[in-house]
Amino acid sequence: MTTMTLERFAVAAPTADDVRRSELAAFLRSRRERITPEQAGLPRGPRRRTPGLRREEVAQLAAVGVTWYTWLEQARDITVSAQVLDSVARALMLDRGERGHLFALANSADPLSAAACPGITPALHAMMERLEPFPACVQNARYDILAYNRTYRHLLCDLDAIPPEDRNCLWLYFTDDDWRAGTADREEATRAMVAKFRASMAEHLSDPAWKCLLKRLQDASPEFRQLWARHEVAELTAYRTRHLLQPRVGMLRLDYTSLWAGPAPGARLLTFTPADEESHGRLERLLALVRAGE
pLDDT digits (tens, 9 = 90+) for 83-116: 889 889 988 988 878 888 888 888 887 877 655 5
CA distance 172 to 139: 14
Q: What is the pLDDT of residue 10?
A: 53
Q: What is the pLDDT of residue 116?
A: 52
List CB contacts of 183: < 8 A, sequence separation 6 or more.
156, 173, 189, 190, 244, 245
Among 2-16, 24-38, 47-61, 69-83, which stretch is predicted with the lowest mean pLDDT?
2-16
Supply the DSSP string of 34-78, one letter for each residue. T--TTTTT----TT--SSS--HHHHHHHHT--HHHHHHHHTT---
List CB contacts of 287: < 8 A, sequence separation 6 or more.
132, 133, 150, 151
CA distance 133 to 288: 9
Residue 170 one-letter amino acid: L
Q: Predicted confidence band at 218 (pLDDT cuts at 50, 70, 90)?
A: very high
Q: Predicted confidence band at 235 (pLDDT cuts at 50, 70, 90)?
A: confident
CA distance 174 to 5: 65
Closest CA to 255 of 230, 279, 225, 234: 279
pLDDT digits over 120-161, tens only? 788 889 999 999 999 999 998 899 999 999 999 999 999 999
Res 238 pLDDT > 70:
no
Tell me the average pLDDT of the chain: 86
Closest CA to 82 of 104, 103, 96: 103
> Which has the higher per-residue pLDDT, 205 or 288?
288
Pairing of strands 250-260, 268-274: antiparallel
Q: Predicted confidence band at 119 (pLDDT cuts at 50, 70, 90)?
A: low
* Terminal C-alpha separation, the chain: 81
Which pTM does this prediction carry?
0.70
